[in-house]
Structure 1
Amino acid sequence: MTDARIDYAAMFRALPGMVALLTPQLVYADANDEFLHMTGRTREQLVGRYLFDVFPDNPNDSTATGMRNLEASLRRVLTTGERDAMALQRYDVESPDRSGEWEERYWSPINAPVHGPDGKVVLLVHRVEEVTELIRARGGPSGNRARVLEAELYTRARELQEVNERLRQAHAREREVALALQKAMLPAPRQTGHRGTAVRYRPAVGALNVCGDWYDLVELVGGNRIGVAVGDVVGHGLEAAGVMGQLRSALTAASRVAESPAQALDVLGRYAHVVDGAESATAVTTFIDFDHHTITYSSAGHPPPALVHADGRVEFLDQATDPPLDARPDPVPRPQATTTFSDGATVVLYTDGLIERRGEDIDTGLDRLAAALLRHREADPESLADAVLLELLPPGGATDDTALIIVRL
C-alpha cells in the first residue's frame, strides 16, 4: 500500500489514544476524536487556541503545578528535539458545561517532536493517557491517602519505564558502534593463496553489548607459511572492541617477524602488560608450514585448536598451553609444540563461545565439537563453518560472542 492510498487525516482522528498536535507556540493545530471526547471539548474550542488558555491551572488550588510542569516538558522537547515522558500529573479540568467547577483529573503525558526538512521542530505530538479512574479505583475509606499512594506508584513505574527505555537505546547505540568498529578491525573473509579458508563471527544473542573476540590470518615471511590466530578480550562494549583491535594488530605485526608462535605470544604478552583492559585476555596462534606439513602452535590460556586429519581423526592441539596474556608480572618464554598433517587435513580455531555452556564441563563442549567436525569433514570450509555453528550454537543463540576460522590444509 502506498502513502497516496492512506487517508492519514482519518487515521489520526481514529487513533485509540488521546493525541493532539501543537505548534511551537503551543497552539493547538489538531486533536483526534479520543482527545476531544476525554477532555469534553470540541475541535472548534481547541484548534487555533493557546494550550493554557483552554486548560489553565485550577485557580482554587494554590498547589496546582500541572500547567507549569507541562509547559516545561514541551519547552524541553522544542529545545532538545527529543521525546519527553512526564511523570504522572494531577491537572484539574474546568467542566465544559459548568463554568467555575473543576474536576480532579490525573494524566500521564508524553511529548514528542515532529522535525521539518531542516531538522527544526515544526510540531509537537502531545499524547496523553488519562488515569483518573485508576487512581480513584482503590480510594475506599482512605481515599485521599490511597490516591496519593497510587499516584506515587504509578509515577515511579512510568519513570522507571522511561529510564529503562533510555538505557536500552543507549546500549543499542553502543552495540551498533562497537560492532561496526569490530567489523572494521577484523580481517575480511578471503582466500589465502590456493588454500581454502572460512571465517565467522557471531555476536552474543540477547546481549546489548559486543565482546572482544577476534581472529587473524597472515602470510608469514620465508617459505610457504601462514599464521592463524584467535583471541578473546574480557569485557564488553567499545572498550573491549578497542583492546581487541590493539592486540590483534600487535600479534599480526609480531607474527611477521617472530621465529615461532611462542615468540610472537611472548611479544604480545609484554605489549598486553601496558594495555589497559588486556588483563586475562587469551589467544592461541599457529604457524602452518605447507612445505614441511607441520603446525607449530602456542596458547595463552585459550581453548585448543582442532586438527581434523585426512583419515578422520580429530586431534586437539593442547600440548603448549600457558596462562593468559599479562598473567605474570615478569613474563617468561612461552611453550610451543609441533604436530604434522597430510594434505586434505583441516585446522579449526575458535573462541570459547562455541564450546562453553554454563554448568557444563569444557570437555563436553570439546567432544561436541569433535563429533561435528568428524560428521562434516568432507565439506568445504564454508559449508563446514556453517554446519559447526548450526550444530554447536544454541537455537536461541549463544550468551557469549563466537569467532571461528577454518583452514583446509
Structure 2
Amino acid sequence: MSGPVIDYRTVFQALPSAVALLTPDLVFADANEAYLVLSGRDRAQVLGRFLFDVFPDNPHDPDPSGVRNLHASLRRVAATGERDTMALQRYDVEDPDRPGVWRERYWSPVNVPVLGPDGEVRLIAHRVEEVTELIKAGGAPDSDRGRVLEAELFGRARELQDVNERLRRAHAREREVALHLQAAMLPAPRPLGHHRAAVRYRPAAGALNVCGDWYDLVDLPDDGRTAVAVGDVVGHGLRAAGVMGQLRSALSAASRVAVGPAQALEVLDRYARSVDGAENTTAVSVYIDWDDRALAYSSAGHPPPALCGPDGTVAFLDRATDPPLGARPEYAGRPQSRTAFTEGSVLVLYTDGLVERRREDIDTGLSRLARSLARHRRADPGPLADALLADLVPATGLTDDTALVVLRL
C-alpha cells in the first residue's frame, strides 16, 4: 500500500525549529521561515551567500569565540560526515535595521551532515535555538526562583566561554608541539643523486599536523639502488605519530642492510610486535634498481604503488601483498615481486587517505588515481604531486591522513 506523497520542501519550510541548509563551503543553500524570522533576515539576504558574510564577527567583541567555535564545528561536520551538537554559544548579531548596533545573543546549535549517494557530505543542516531570553535579563523575573535560574544559566554560559578559551589555548600549544614533532620525524628527503622526487604530507581535516603516516627515501650507495617506502599506523594525533617515528626509523635502518624489500619488511614485522600501538600497521617498500631498470617490491597490507609509463599506461604493483604488520599469530616470511620499468616512467607511493572514501569501493579510488596520474604524468614530481592532491582530495578535506611520494624513473 503506497503512502501519501510528501512535499519535503513544504515540510522544511513549516518546521517550527530554525534550520538553514549550508553547502560544505558554508554557503546558504536554503533556510526555512523560522530561521529567517529568528535571524531577522529575508531570503534574498542569505541565499547564495557565505554564512560568515551574512553573520560576521562583532567588531566590538575582543574574543568572538562563538563565531570561531561555530566555524570549527561546521568544518568538522563537512570533513567527517558526523553530526555535532555544540555547547551553548554567544554569537552577537548586527541589528538589520540599525547598522553598527550589535545585540548580544546566545544560541544552542546542532550541525547535521546530509550525505549524497556516494557517501560524501552534500549539505549541512544547521539548526539553531536562541536561548538569549534565558541567559540575559529581559525584564523583571516572575519570581525569586526565576532570578536564581537566570543567574545560574548566565553563570554557566560564562563558564562555557572560559572553558572554550582554555581549550583553544591548549590546542594552540599542542599544535606547536605537533609542528616541531613533524619536522623532526618527517624531514624533507635528501637528494637522490640526479633522480627527481617529491613528497607530500597531509593530516586529516581537523587533526593536528602530525599523524601515523610516514614516508622514507634511502639511497643505497653500495649497489646503486634506492629504497622507497610509505607506511600507515592506525589512529591519529601524537600517540600514532610516536609509533610512526619508531617504525619509520626501524624500516629506514633495515632498508640499508636488507637484500630486498621483503626482508626489510620481515625485520620491521619482528620489531613492530614489540611496540605498543603498532598492531595492524601497513607499509610498502620498493627497491629501485637504476641499472637494470627494475622495481622489487613487497607490501604489508598496504595499497599498491602505481607505476605510470611514458605512454600513460598505469599498473598497480599488487603481486606481493601480505597481511599488515603483526597480523599473523606467528612470524612468517613475506613475498616479493619484481617488474621492469621504462625510463621516463613515474612511480607513486601513497597511503590510503588518498584513495579511500566512506561508502565507496577501493577500486573506485584507485581508478581515480590512475586517471589523474596518466593525465599529469609529464609534469615534474613536485607539480605532479600537487596535481594528484588537487584531483583526489575532496573539497571538504581529507578524512584520513595522507602521505604521498612521487619519483621520476
Deviations 1:304-358 (A, max 9, x none): 1000012211001111111111212311001111111111111000111211122
For the residue of structure 2 that corresponds to 1:235, the secondary structure is strand
Query: Contact 1:219/1:226 (CA < 8 Å) preserved in 2?
Result: yes
Aligned equivalent of 1:343? 343
Aligned equivalent of 2:407? 407
For the residue of structure 2 that corresponds to 1:218, the secondary structure is strand
Q: How many residues align?
A: 282
- CA shift, 1:391, in A, is 1.1
Question: Equivalences for 1:12-23 in 2 at 5 Å?
Answer: none
Ranges of 4+ aligned residues in structure 1 off by more than 3 Å: 15-18, 131-136, 138-141
Question: Equivalences for 1:4-403 in 2 at 5 Å?
Answer: 135-137=136-138, 140-141=141-142, 143-208=143-208, 210-220=210-220, 222-403=222-403
Q: 1:281 to 1:169 in 2, by over 3 A?
A: farther
For the residue of structure 1 that corresponds to 2:200, the secondary structure is strand
Q: Which amino acid aligns with 1:274?
A: S
2:256 and 2:202 mapped to 1: Cα distance?
A: 27
- CA shift, 1:367, in A, is 0.7
Aligned equivalent of 1:23? none
Query: Contact 1:190/1:198 (CA < 8 Å) preserved in 2?
Result: no
2:60 and 2:379 mapped to 1: Cα distance?
A: 56
2:315 and 2:135 mapped to 1: Cα distance?
A: 67
Query: Contact 1:372/1:391 (CA < 8 Å) preserved in 2?
Result: yes
For the residue of structure 1 that corresponds to 2:403, the secondary structure is strand
Deviations 1:77-109 (A, max 9, x none): xxxxxxxxxxxxxxxxxxxxxxxxxxxxxxxxx
2:328 and 2:293 mapped to 1: Cα distance?
A: 33
2:212 and 2:160 mapped to 1: Cα distance?
A: 31
- CA shift, 1:139, in A, is 5.2
Q: Which amino acid aligns with 2:178?
A: A
Identity of matched residues, %: 67
For the residue of structure 1 that corresponds to 2:286, the secondary structure is strand
1:17 and 1:353 mapped to 2: Cα distance?
A: 39
- Any unmatched runs of 5+ in structure 1? 1-14, 19-130
Query: Contact 1:201/1:402 (CA < 8 Å) preserved in 2?
Result: yes
For the residue of structure 1 that corresponds to 2:295, the secondary structure is strand
Q: 1:384 to 1:16 in 2, by over 3 A?
A: closer
Aligned-residue RMSD, C-alpha: 2.3
TM-score (norm 2): 0.65
Q: Which amino acid aligns with 1:341?
A: F
Q: Which amino acid aligns with 2:138?
A: A
Q: 1:268 to 1:146 in 2, by over 3 A?
A: same
TM-score (norm 1): 0.65
- CA shift, 1:284, in A, is 0.6
Deviations 1:235-264 (A, max 9, x none): 222222221111111001101111111110
Query: Contact 1:175/1:237 (CA < 8 Å) preserved in 2?
Result: no
Q: 1:135 to 1:165 in 2, by over 3 A?
A: closer
For the residue of structure 1 that corresponds to 2:199, the secondary structure is strand
- CA shift, 1:402, in A, is 1.5
1:194 and 1:132 mapped to 2: Cα distance?
A: 69
- CA shift, 1:396, in A, is 3.7
Q: 1:244 to 1:320 in 2, by over 3 A?
A: same
Aligned equivalent of 2:91? none
1:170 and 1:192 mapped to 2: Cα distance?
A: 40
Which stretch has the larger CA shift, 156-165 or 342-351? 156-165
Query: Contact 2:178/2:208 (CA < 8 Å) preserved in 1?
Result: no
Which stretch has the larger CA shift, 282-291 or 158-167? 158-167
Query: Contact 1:314/1:374 (CA < 8 Å) preserved in 2?
Result: yes
2:139 and 2:278 mapped to 1: Cα distance?
A: 56
- CA shift, 1:392, in A, is 1.0
Bigger radius of gyration: 1
2:134 and 2:211 mapped to 1: Cα distance?
A: 47
- CA shift, 1:303, in A, is 0.9
- CA shift, 1:277, in A, is 1.7
- Any unmatched runs of 5+ in structure 2? 1-58, 63-131
Deviations 1:164-199 (A, max 9, x none): 332233233223212321222223144311111111
For the residue of structure 2 that corresponds to 1:404, the secondary structure is strand
Deviations 1:258-280 (A, max 9, x none): 11111100100111111112122
RCO (CA 8 Å, sep 6+): is it higher in 1 or 2?
2
